[in-house]
Chain A
Amino acid sequence: DVKVTQSSRYLVKRTGEKVFLECVQDMDHENMFWYRQDPGLGLRLIYFSYDVKMKEKGDIPEGYSVSREKKERFSLILESASTNQTSMYLCASSGPRGTQYFGPGTRLLVL
């Protein structure tokens, strides 16, 4: 079974803090993704990576950056957290057929 783990299930941060969300997959997948999920808006793609040190912007990259130093690990960084970044953050990885496997999610609250 594919396993995608995320470092925290719940996080509470203050406005202006730098926030790191970590994701690890154990299936040697090339591609990894970060989404956020909000009521009424669904899942939206923030960034993705198709190889180590490679990244591409998704649909809503503003206010976020990413890092992929190792194949199994993909980090999402909020440089200066804002209240409108309060959301559920979901990491996924995919193999060659395009099927994506999701982690359990991180609920982030920015006060």
Chain B
Amino acid sequence: QKEVEQDPGPLSVPEGAIVSLNCTYSNSAFQYFMWYRQYSRKGPELLMYTYSSGNKEDGRFTAQVDKSSKYISLFIRDSQPSDSATYLCAMTFGRGGGGADGLTFGKGTHLIIQP
């Protein structure tokens, strides 16, 4: 099975707050984990990419993967109104180095940053 669970929100926080977004999954075969940001009526935009367990930081964004718990997180520091969007977690099995499989997505969390 390929279920990925993600709280749909909406999640509303004040500007400058730290945001924590999470997904859980059931299939231990997933190897590659991603976070996408999607603005209304646009295509998803890749934010973060992680292989297996561990942390990865890029500017105000930190992605964490805990494969033992089947749990992934995205943290946004110093949140800005422009961060208001839907955030999608996604994962794949890793055939062909990760590129040959479709992604399984969470349903997305709608994030609102209040000025």
Which A residues have a C-beta under 8 Å from some C-beta of B? 4, 29-31, 33, 35, 40-45, 48, 50, 58-59, 90, 94-105, 107
A90→B44 contact, CB < 8 A: yes
With beta carbons under 8 angstroms apart, the residue of B43, B46, B105, B107 that contacts A99 is B46
Which residue in chain B gives the minimum CB-CB distance to A57? B102
A50→B100 contact, CB < 8 A: yes
Which has the most chain B C-beta neighbours within 10 Å: A30, A90, A97, A101?
A97
Which B residues have a C-beta under 8 Å from some C-beta of A? 2, 32, 34, 36, 41-46, 49, 51, 88, 90, 92, 94, 96-108
B49→A97 contact, CB < 8 A: yes
Which residue in chain A gives the minimum CB-CB distance to B46? A99
A102→B88 contact, CB < 8 A: no
